[in-house]
Amino acid sequence: MYSMLLADFNVLMPDPGLLFWTLLVFAFVYFFVGRAAFKPIQNALKKRDTEIQESIDEAKRVQAQMAQMKDDNAKLLAEAREESTRIIGEAEAFAKKRRDEAVTEAKEAAQKVSANAQRDIANMRDSAMADLKKEVGTMAIDIAEKVLQKELKSDVNQVALVNELVKNLN
């Protein structure tokens, strides 16, 4: 009853008809599914993969750019702040210097003016004093002349005067 095992095991016997149809059906699958669908799908998948990768790369690049820009901005801001501080400081220093200079100049000018004035006053006073002395001297001489003219008209007075002078010499 089991003697037919091998003989009846006809799936082990390749039927040329089935082989022919297998090749034909597979040719259909290869050309109308493999070439017609798998190929374009593979291309579409590849394209999508590339696109996704590119998008990720682009996003990363943009992110990096943004971070860079942010850094740059912060740096620029810091620089600007520094610059402004520096400018203000410089301006303040300059203003202070200018003010000090102006004050000094004014003081100097004032001193100069006052010195000139004092010198002029002194000069004027000296010349006035000289003039006064000269006037007083002239006046004294005039008076003395007049006195002398009056006193020395008699001999007695002259002798008295000489005596007195001689006495004064002792």
Query: Considering only 7-15, 60-68, 108-116, 151-159, which stretch makes contact with other proteins by CB under 8 A?
Result: 7-15
Residue nearer to other proteins on the CB measure, 24 or 95: 24
Binding-residue pattern over the window 29 to 68 for other proteins, x denoting contact by CB under 8 A = xx-xxxxxxxxxxx-xx-xx--x-----------------
25 binds other proteins, rule: CB under 8 A:
yes
Q: How many residues bind other proteins (CB under 8 A)?
A: 44
Query: Rounded to an integer, what is the distance from CA 150 to the centroid of its chain?
Result: 94
Give the integer Cα–Cα distance in Å for 16 and 14: 6
Rounded to a whole number of angstroms, the CA Rg of the chain reads: 67
Residue nearer to other proteins on the CB measure, 5 or 166: 5
Give the integer Cα–Cα distance in Å for 68 and 62: 9
Binding site for other proteins (CB under 8 A): 1-23, 25-26, 28-30, 32-42, 44-45, 47-48, 51
